[in-house]
A = this chain, B = another copy of it.
Amino acid sequence: MDKIAIVDTMFARFDMGAVAENELKRQPGFGNRFEIVRTTVPGIKDLAVACKRLIERENCLLVLAFGMPGRADLDQLSAHEASLGIVAAQLLTNTPILQVFVHESESDDQEELRTIARERSAKHAINACWMLYEPEQLKQRAGKGIRQGSADAGSL
C-alpha cells in the first residue's frame, strides 16, 4: 500500500497535522490505495530531515510538512531556513513535500488564524491525493489563482 506522510511540530500552535489526517481519511483511496504515516518533531528546522527519513526509510510517496512560524524576526528566519531545507530534501529524494506553513503574522485575529490553518491543511491534503492519483485535477486548475487558506485569487 502507498504511504503518505504527515510531519508536524510541537512548536506550532494549531494541530494542522490532525486536520490533514482527517481530510486524507475522507479521500477515496484511503485504506486501500494509501495509508498514513505520522511523526512529530520539535521545531520547523527539524522538518526537512524528518521528511527525508520517512521517504527513504518508510518509502513514503509524498510528505505533508506542517509548521507555524511565530511573529518574531528570528522565527521568520527559521521558517526561511526550514523552507530551503524542504526544497533540498525534495530534490535529494525526487519526492514531493508539500510545505504547509501558517505564519502567525498572517492575521492578528486568532479565530482567523485557526481558520487559515484548518483550510490550508485540508486543501493541501487534497492536493497530495491529486498529485499522486488525479494529476489532471491540478492541470485543469493551471494558472487559475488557486489558494489554500484564503479565497482563491482567480485569474487575472
Contact = CB atoms under 8 A, between A and B. Distances in A.
Contact of A139 (B38, B80, B94): B38
Contact of A40 (B18, B82, B138): B138
B143 A8 contact: yes
A153 interface: yes
Contact of A13 (B15, B40, B90, B154): B154
How many copies of this kind of chain does the complex include? Answer: 5
A13 B155 contact: yes
A31 interface: no
A91 B124 contact: no
B87 A82 contact: yes
A26 interface: no
Size range of the chain A interface in the assembly: 35 or more
A106 B156 CA distance: 14
Contacts of A41: 96, 131, 138
A58 interface: no
A132 interface: no
Interface of A: 8-18, 38-42, 45-46, 48-50, 52-53, 56-57, 66, 68, 70, 74, 77-78, 80-92, 94-99, 103, 106, 110, 113-114, 117, 124, 127, 131, 135, 138-139, 141-148, 153-156
